[in-house]
Amino acid sequence: MNMILNVLCQSPVIQGRTPAEAIGETIALAELCDTLGYNRFWVTEHHNTHSFASATPEVLMAHIAGRTQHMRIGAGGFMMSHYSPLKIAETANLLEALYPGRIDIGMGRAGGGDAMTNRALSSFGDIDVFEKYNKLRAWIGNPSPSHRPQPRIMASPSISTRPELWVLGTSVSSAQYAAKHGLPYSFAMFINDEQVNDAVQHYFTHYTPSKEYPEPQLNLGVFVMCAETEDEAARAATVAEAWVVDMMMHQQDKAFPTEQEASSRTWTPAEQMLVSYRRRSAIVGTPEVVHAKLRELSERFRATELTIVTITDDQSKRMRSYELLAQFMSVPTPS
């Protein structure tokens, strides 16, 4: 069984390389994945960090959409706590006007940075984030005045098509919102797999059909490292594992290590426990092994799509991983 596969690129910065180089690698990866037939290519929003280079996904989306032809281009996602819903609606409408039928807007609750940075970015008080979701949904596209949060204000430019909205999450609360409003739901297993069962169960059990989405649409984000041999894949995956240890156990904000540095580390018992824990939700191995595990995951959770996150220090290995996965993709049926 083939699967609908997407890409999430966080523009990781590798030790010894610059953030500008990381952005260039994201663009090159997007161009490759467009030729391979991936369905969506999402970029992210991170602030005040040496680990990731993309803080303004809307700018990167516009550039990538102009360099590709087929994939849907999106943000996974916009950190809505920082922004006016009207401003995001205008950004989404303009992107959709430039690239009709190709724009995805992921609505995220997290701040994308540390507490100090999040406070510096936010200037809209303590407005509930889900209320911002409601206002964005009401403004995006070209609704009639009676459906807008403020009837005399429209989100410019007024367009005839509508960007696709996704609710992003790592908890049950996001699943509750997506189910209640009949929206597509993307759960980031690569961040937190502990609540995936409860979140997905709630989403399917309580899903309220909407006009745009009569059936639930579930997208699972998964860390994958695929290579010709098990050993090669495992070594490449140590780059992300070492970074997780540095970040979560030692609060070190720095670039991702090289494979040579990461694979030569000797873990303490506590570090090894964290690495083993993170490996539960990662899928690492040869194409056949990875495909079998992705298929099992898709069937177990009834996922409509899977979004692949791959981070290692060698751009050619990252690209090769996506090339190897491409043989197992199916082309989505146009809606």
pLDDT in tens, 164-217: 999 999 999 999 999 999 999 999 999 999 999 999 999 999 999 999 999 999
List phi, psi (to 5°) of 156: -90, 145
Instruction: State the residue range of the domain holding 205.
Output: 5-228+284-326
Residue 264: inside a domain, yes or no? no
Residue 273: inside a domain, yes or no? no
Residue 147: inside a domain, yes or no? yes
- Counting every residue, how long is the chain? 335
Instruction: Write out the chain's pLDDT in tens, 335 residues.
Output: 578 999 999 999 999 999 999 999 999 999 999 999 999 999 999 999 999 999 999 999 999 999 999 999 999 989 888 888 899 999 999 999 999 999 999 998 765 555 665 565 565 555 688 988 998 999 887 777 777 888 888 888 988 899 999 999 999 999 999 999 999 999 999 999 999 999 999 999 999 999 999 999 999 999 999 999 999 999 999 999 999 999 999 999 999 999 999 999 999 999 999 999 989 999 999 999 999 999 999 999 999 999 999 999 999 999 999 999 999 887 665 55
Quote the pTM value: 0.93
DSSP 3-state assignment of 63?
helix
Within a 13 Å sphere around the CA of 213, how many CA atoms are in the beta-carbon half?
18
> What angle, rounded to 10 degrees, do the helices at 269-279 and 230-250 form?
120
Residue 158: inside a domain, yes or no? yes
Residue 64: inside a domain, yes or no? yes
Residue 272: inside a domain, yes or no? no
DSSP 212-280: S-SS--EEEEEEEEE-SSHHHHHHHHHHHHHHHHHHHHH----PBPPHHHHHT----HHHHHHHHHHHT
Domain count for the chain, please give it: 1
Are 206 and 172 within 8 A, CB to CB? no
Are 233 and 226 within 8 A, CB to CB? yes
Residue 246: inside a domain, yes or no? no
127: Cβ contacts below 8 Å, ≥ 6 apart = none
Residue 119: inside a domain, yes or no? yes
149 DSSP 8-state letter:
S
CATH number, position 40: 3.20.20.30
Residue whose C-alpha is closest to residue 305's, from 217, 226, 224, 197: 217
∠ at Cα 42 (39, 44), nearest 5°? 170
The pair of structure tokens assigned to 61 is 């989306």
228: Cβ contacts below 8 Å, ≥ 6 apart = 286, 287, 324
